[in-house]
Chain A
Amino acid sequence: MSRMSSKGMIRTGLLLAAMVAASPALALESAPVASARAVVTLATEANAAEPGKPFRIGLRFRLAQGWHIYWMNPGDAGQAPELDLILPVGAKASAISWPAPLRLAEGPVMTFSYIGEVLLPITVTPAQDAASLPIDAKASWLVCEKICIPEEGSFHLDVPLGTPSPSPQAPLFAAADARIPRPSPYRATLAPDGTLSLSGEGISTRSVKDAWFFPSAWGPIDQAAPQKLTVADGAFSLALKPGQMFDPKASLSGVLVIQDADGRESAFDVTTPGEPSGATARPPPPGTATANPPAGEAAAPAPTSSAGSAPALPRDMAGMAQTLLLAFLAGVILNLMPCVFPILAIKAVAIAKLSGSARSAVRAHALAYTAGALATFAGLGGLLLALRAFGIAAGWGFQLQSPTFVIAMAWLLFAVGLNLSGAFAVSGGFLAAGQSLAGRDGLIGSFFTGLLAVLVAAPCTAPFMGAAVAAALAAPAPLALAVFVAMGLGLAAPYALLALAPGLAGLLPKPGAWMETLKQLLAFPMYAAAAWLVWVASQQAGSDGVLAALAGMVLIGFAVWAFGATAGGRAGWRIGGRSMAAVAAVAAAVILYEIAASPAAPPAADALAGDAEPYTPARLAALRAEGRPVFVNMTAAWCVTCLVNERLALSSERVRKMFADHHVSYLKGDWTRADPAITQFLREHDRDGVPLYVFYGAHGAAPVILPQILTEASVLDELDRLGS
């Protein structure tokens, strides 16, 4: 009350006076329930009703300046008016036909409201034998300005029976009708990322200048989030943000308000079909969650988008089998990826070792390797799912975002290289050109070779399996794990074949002196991989990280030497050598711990060299709002494909000149270390790893995702096409 302006008081007073003056019409409009905030009556559309014939009455609100009441879904706060009618026996009443509301945003809280004057119509059908038609109503409503006041009142109408003609209040009903939603002429579909698409005749940038979707209940969509409109001829879409209760399989219903280029508004009832079968098709009862959703699924939007290329989650067995087959093939292809080369070197040695061995030994090693690959794929997949379930933003290849892991990997590869070079030999170790091939240690070695292959290969999966991994992660956990296992099977397949087809093992070359030469040669891919990983660590942990990595290598070198040099000596020497090796190993472990405990270094300047600006969602939104074309490059130092693309395609003179000529802003996101904003961006584009290249044309044109393998020509073509 205290907030009511004096102007509002005067206005309310005038309203009341006007109504008293209009007393002859009072039979067609109830006595008002009035406060300084709202004057409320019950009115009829016609001045008489016929028995058995439907006619309309309406709850009429006249609201003081600054005050509002709420729509049937009030939005994030507030409450819809409630109306109880008491009708003579035999008469029936419909529910309220709600006119489309307005949006009122109060900070991050969005409400759907009415201001000024509004009428909520109800259709009443009197009994066939009605002799009189008294209508009593009880209503309650919440009226809010900044503060909220609950109000209520009782209303009485005696509707005369006779031949109907429009009452003085009929224009109010006509005004309400203009905003009462009509059945939608458009076909509506909902994408798993929340994009609502409508198609039908007559849609153009002229007929759809602006649009807003009001959900009929709280829950499925984030009501306060912007709804980005994209219009083409014959179709348009609104990018809705999934809310707490979003279920892409459920039907979504609500009211769509469209404004055309002349400012005319039309309201339509829109319902998406939803999944036809089972209980999931029913929307949850308003205000409740239907069940205890598995942790992490509650609010996570499915990582698919309107881009169209996204594989839908397999809904049946055939789809599932196809997904698994694709995952398997991707695993096979992984054997050809550059990041697996160092591991292939290990395998080459292992295969060489097997030359001439017993068939059973070959089989045992192949199975152990396969088991290692499978276990690691399943383990990584499971860990990733678990991290997600705990709300941690992680993506495929996430282990390489940790400098600790990268350095540990560099050391391991370095140690493997030293071993291949002959710096030390561990009999029975998995790298030893040993005799005890069938020994237990040898099998463990094969297992760990499989493990190593997967850990290093994982980031390489992005170009081939990015979308599938994203889909898998959105699928139920058992299916997701099955996809990971299928990939592991694919990776191990060439080797597993040796186990399954005994004839193949016989084709292996005969052992001989060449094996030692090959082994020494293969040390160099290991050193190269270690050098690369140290460079990756330099991006993540700065020069301190490089020093730590190199110091660790010196310690490892020393440990290896102490171990190897004394291995053939007397017991005392051996113990001394092994102690020194152990001390060095512990020192290396301490270094690793220090790296893990130290705070992350700022991104190295090199990662953002060139004309690129660092990616932030806000910067992208700002550039797009200015209508500038934007090229977004999501990359990571440990992603070989990304680096090759940058060197060969994106850094070329012609591409740079093209960017400059078309005033393209170049945003680069560095995912070398974990960055939730980038993970989010990837998921919005159905990806779960880098690289990702998205080009946004000028003036809000729809974004285009470029292939993950770029050439200078393909980039120039794409820019040409979009630029013209």
Chain B
Amino acid sequence: MSNFRPALWLAALGLAVLPLVAHAAPRIGAAAPDFVGKDSNGQTVRLGDLKGKIVVLEWTNDGCPYVGKWYRSGAMQQLQRDAAGMGAVWLSIASSPPGEQGYVDGAQANADTSRRNAAPAHVLLDPQGTIARLYGAQTTPHIFVIKPDGLLAYMGGADSIASTRIEDMKRAEPYAREALVAVAEGKPVPHPVTRPYGCSVKYSS
């Protein structure tokens, strides 16, 4: 019995922890809330299935001038391609409900992607705002970077200067890119939480 006891204790302690896992609002260093979404091609995407890969969430609205800055300049497309090069899965999420600016169906989303020459892994259609509410997405763009172990590493703005002017991007601190590179290199993210800026996410009421 005396040899058996320590092992039992360890097992009991270990098992005791399991049922305690519970999710709250997204927090840096905590597990990113899991979700299931449909993409523009009708494919189901589950965050939990992407464990082992970096995942980037980008809230988008094609009509928003702040999103426009990032796509007119080509910076967002470049970031998407660089992310893919690092093995990251890029999810653009459209959370506008029907009738609001930024609402897209699958065909429109695909047309926008090819017109903008964008390179997301998926465009998720979230017209109910379910995923947006889960993450507390406030603006377009609003960026979240999730580490391969499923923990949230970054939430905030695409960069540091809130403006619709392309020329501001040169002198801005590229928060989203910085976070992505840090995660890919296994380093701590220098600014894990920053102010998201842009148009408000159009929540369905």
> What residues of chain A have their CB less than 8 Å away from a CB belonging to chain B?
76-79, 106-109, 111, 142, 144, 146-150, 218-219, 244-245, 286-289, 292-293, 295-296, 298-300, 383, 387, 389-394, 398-399, 401-405, 408-409, 412, 415, 426, 428-430, 441, 444-445, 448, 451, 563, 585, 589, 592-593, 596, 600, 673-674, 676
Contact in complex: A448, B5 (CB < 8 Å): yes
Complex Cα distance, B63 from A383, in Å, reads 48
Residue of A nearest to B161 (CB): A287
Contact in complex: B16, A109 (CB < 8 Å): no
Contact in complex: B203, A109 (CB < 8 Å): yes
Which chain A positions have C-beta within 8 A of B193? 219, 244-245, 289, 293, 298-299
B192 contact from A77, A219, A293, A429, Cβ within 8 A: A293
Contact in complex: A287, B1 (CB < 8 Å): no
Determine chain B's interface SS by DSSP, over half rule: loop
Which chain B positions have C-beta within 8 A of A585? 4
Complex Cα distance, B16 from A501, in Å, reads 38
Which chain B positions have C-beta within 8 A of A405? 12-13, 15-16
A299 and B28 in contact (CB under 8 A), knowing A146-B202, A408-B8? yes
Contact in complex: A404, B15 (CB < 8 Å): yes
Complex Cα distance, B64 from A147, in Å, reads 7
> What residues of chain B have their CB less than 8 Å away from a CB belonging to chain A?
1-2, 4-6, 8-9, 11-13, 15-25, 27-31, 63-66, 100-101, 129, 133, 136, 138-139, 151, 155, 157, 160, 162-164, 173, 188-205
Q: Pick the most buried of B27, B136, B151: most chain A CB atoms within 10 A of its CB.
A: B27
Contact in complex: A389, B15 (CB < 8 Å): no
Complex Cα distance, B162 from A150, in Å, reads 12
A296 and B30 in contact (CB under 8 A), knowing A76-B139, A111-B200, A144-B199? yes
Contact in complex: B203, A107 (CB < 8 Å): yes
List 26 A-B pairs, Cβ < 8 Å: A76-B196, A77-B198, A77-B201, A107-B201, A150-B164, A244-B155, A287-B160, A287-B197, A292-B192, A293-B28, A295-B28, A295-B30, A391-B27, A401-B16, A403-B19, A404-B18, A404-B19, A405-B16, A408-B8, A408-B11, A408-B12, A429-B2, A430-B2, A445-B2, A448-B9, A589-B8
Which chain B positions have C-beta within 8 A of A299? 25, 27-28, 193
A147 and B63 in contact (CB under 8 A), knowing A430-B2, A674-B20? yes
Complex Cα distance, B101 from A111, in Å, reads 18
- B134–chain A nearest beta-carbon distance, Å: 11
Q: Pick the most buried of B2, B5, B151: most chain A CB atoms within 10 A of its CB.
A: B2
Complex Cα distance, B180 from A688, in Å, reads 36
Which chain A positions have C-beta within 8 A of B65? 142, 148-150
Complex Cα distance, B21 from A409, in Å, reads 21
Which chain B positions have C-beta within 8 A of A399? 13, 16
- A555–chain B nearest beta-carbon distance, Å: 13
- A180–chain B nearest beta-carbon distance, Å: 24
A600 and B2 in contact (CB under 8 A), knowing A287-B194, A391-B27? no
Contact in complex: A451, B9 (CB < 8 Å): yes
Which chain B positions have C-beta within 8 A of A398? 16, 20
Complex Cα distance, B100 from A415, in Å, reads 67
Which chain B positions have C-beta within 8 A of A445? 2
B8 contact from A107, A147, A149, A412, Cβ within 8 A: A412
Complex Cα distance, B129 from A109, in Å, reads 12
Residue of B nearest to A148 (CB): B199
Contact in complex: B199, A107 (CB < 8 Å): no
Q: Pick the most buried of B25, B162, B163: most chain A CB atoms within 10 A of its CB.
A: B162
